Amino acid sequence: MTTLHTVNKSPFNDGSFDACLGLAKSGSTVLLFEDGVFAATTGTKSAEAIANADGVTFAVLGPDAKARGVEGKIAEGIKVVDYDGFVDLVAEHDKVHAWL
Amino acid sequence: MAKRFMYMNTKAPYGTVYALESLEVVLIGAAFEQDVSLAFIGDGVYQLLKGQDTQGIGMKNFSPTYAALGDYDVNKIYVEKESLEERGLSLDDLQHLVWEDEDEDWAEKDSIRLVSRSELADVIDDQDVILSF
């Protein structure tokens, strides 16, 4: 079973990013959107955790990163997707786990 | 007598409405000629990032408004150093906010003051009113 995890809260203010990372299994994908995009920015503990999460794919919703001025700060190896890409990810996985 | 007002900005823009609401209250408050300071701590530092572009999310980009604060005599903008560092950011990532000093022939001066957590604690301690967003 493949799972798409979605996280929309900043990793600095909320435990959902850490909780998601702790439970995301190899082969799953984590999509960061809204304030969740900050987790993917370079020079943060969360970006380091992403780099060390073997077997988990990470993606960021581009329009949310752009709105917040961090589009150019997304760490290497993290995919940037648009709204269509978000829909594709939902369709490609067996289920969605929307972290709140 | 003018009171010292401190507006604490603690949340990122767009994900919640706090950042925009704070800005609106600051601009209203500025009309009452109080002594106004702004502090940006935690995710609040993201409010001042350069290059915000909200076209793709259908929300108003209110970040250019920060540049107008100087015209309302809001020129004490404290940014907590530790909060920037934790987020992999530096002063160069933020908008360059300035104000014009009428006592010095309208010389342009920086509005942002980069302060440590303990320095900020002292600044907050000196305030009469604290409003947190």
Q: Which of B64, B76, B79, B73 is nearest to B100 (CA)?
A: B73
CATH at residue A66: 3.40.1260.10
Exposed (0-12), middle (13-18) or buried (19+): which is B7, by Cβ within 10 Å?
buried
Domain range for B107: 4-132
ipTM of the complex: 0.85
Summarize the confidence of residues B37-63 as an average pLDDT. 98
Query: How many distinct structural domains can be found in chain B?
Result: 1
Shortest CB distance from A63 goes to which of B15, B50, B56?
B56
pLDDT of residue A2 exceeding 80, the answer is yes
Shortest CB distance from B12 goes to which of A35, A42, A47?
A35
Contact B43 A12 (CB under 8 A): yes
pTM of the model: 0.92
Contact A68 B49 (CB under 8 A): yes
Mean of per-residue pLDDT scores for chain A: 97
Provide the sign of the torsion angle of the four alpha carbons A38, A39, A42, A44, taken in this order. Answer: positive
What is d(CA A23, CA A31) in angstroms, rounded to the nearest whole number? 14
Contact B87 A44 (CB under 8 A): yes
Q: Which of B87, A32, B43, A13 is nearest to A21 (CA)?
A: A32
CA of B112 to nearest chain A CA: how many angstroms apart?
Answer: 19
Summarize the confidence of residues B12-16 as an average pLDDT. 97
Shortest CB distance from A67 goes to which of B16, B59, B89?
B59
Domain range for A20: 3-99
Contact A72 B43 (CB under 8 A): no
CB A50 within 8 A of CB A74: no
Tens of pLDDT, residue by residue over A44-92, are 999 999 999 999 999 999 999 999 999 999 999 999 999 999 999 999 9
The residue with tokens 């401190």 is B6
pLDDT of residue B1 exceeding 80, the answer is no
Q: Is B31 helix (H, G, I), strand (E, B) or coil?
A: coil
- Binning pLDDT at 50, 70 and 90, where does residue B31 land? confident
What is d(CA B111, CA B38) in angstroms, rounded to the nearest whole number? 10
Q: A76: which chain B residues are within 8 Å (Cβ-Cβ)? A: none
CATH at residue B93: 3.40.1260.10
